[in-house]
Structure 1
Amino acid sequence: MADIVAGLVLQDQELELVEELREGREEAFACLMSVYQQPIYNFVYRLLEDSGDAADVTQEVFLKVFRKIGEFRGDCSLKTWIYRIAVHEASNLRRWFFRHRRGEFSLEENHEGRAAFLDVLVDTQENQYEQVLRQERMRAVEKALFQLKESFRVAVVLRDIEGLSYEEIAEITGVSLGTVKSRIMRGREALKTRLLPPEPHPASSSCALEPVE
């Protein structure tokens, strides 16, 4: 019962925030950014493997949110809607990437606003030691993630890192619930294959050492 009440309260708060966003209130925009900016950046980074690209896409995501908030119909949660925009924008950039040279993405060649935006996205609550530990833990996983097929990577990140439900992922990606579960399962299996060390091959009997006399 408590969960239902909490859910209704959260839904009312979200509807109020959406209404204030539609009215163009700066406080509502600031609230939205404080809640979703860092999670969206982290999510996009895990899809693109580039901090500069992730910053650009995150910026574009919120520009789209601000411009299109009037089109939000409430048939899904605001969070789901924002993640759907993030997936779309990240996919667009990946398609652009495959049609152009990688060098055009250099951080130094971008506008000076990008550096400032990246500074905002740094988690200042982590000390240097904690950051190193976190990076060590994530490095192997992220390396394996970037080798996955895009649809598998999106599904696994949304489920296992972002903690979204199967239903939310289906709404975000626009596919059926069964497809979502299949992508997650296959993505996890692919990750396991890449992360686990190969099993040692048994020594051939012809190579067995003779006993020492």
Structure 2
Amino acid sequence: MTSSVELVYQIGENENEMDLAGLYHFSQWSYDFQFMGGWVGADYVIGAGWADDIRGAGFRGEIIHFIPRENNSGSEKATVASTSADYTLPSSLYFHTSVLYNSHGKKGNAGRIAPFFNNQLSAKYLSFAQYSLFGQCSYSVTPLLSASISGIVNPNDRSWYFAPSLTYSLQNNLELMATSQLFFGKNSSEFSDIRQLLFARLK
């Protein structure tokens, strides 16, 4: 009743643009597990993940490994893993924390995040740092007003990102959100040279 199988195929002009992968999901010992494998572009891919509820707190994780299908493909081996936990108090105060590991990430200064916006990104490069720490806290101040704070820290180069946000319900089906994205770090660190940004959204 709780198991499922998925298969995905993407057509490409050549083998390096084709994707073929499968996923098997099942439940055991109150945990949800999934295993995946196949090839994505120039790489073979194998991975696993889990999710559980421990005394009301969500606990989940995933690991995936990329192996080049050919030695001269220009691709590199990579391992990406993450684990996270979240919990909501009876007062509606919500906490979420996560750790991301990237085998290709840098141990020192990770460099500016501007290259994030190029077209070479893939699941291999979810961050420039070898480790990234994420935290989030949100709370319904009133039935109409909610507040949220989230951030990411690169513990190696000590740069960090901070994003406070407020959402207010003006009337039925109309809300105003104001959020800022604040980046801090020394030169050549992951979150340096981006400055501070402020956004508003009417929805």
Q: Determine if the TM-score, normalized by the shorter chain, exceeds 0.5.
A: no
If asked which structure has higher relative contact order (CA below 8 Å, sep 6+), I would say 1
Q: What's the TM-score once normalised by structure 2's chain length?
A: 0.23
Structure with greater strand percent: 2
Structure with greater helix percent: 1
Q: What's the TM-score once normalised by structure 1's chain length?
A: 0.22
Larger radius of gyration: 1
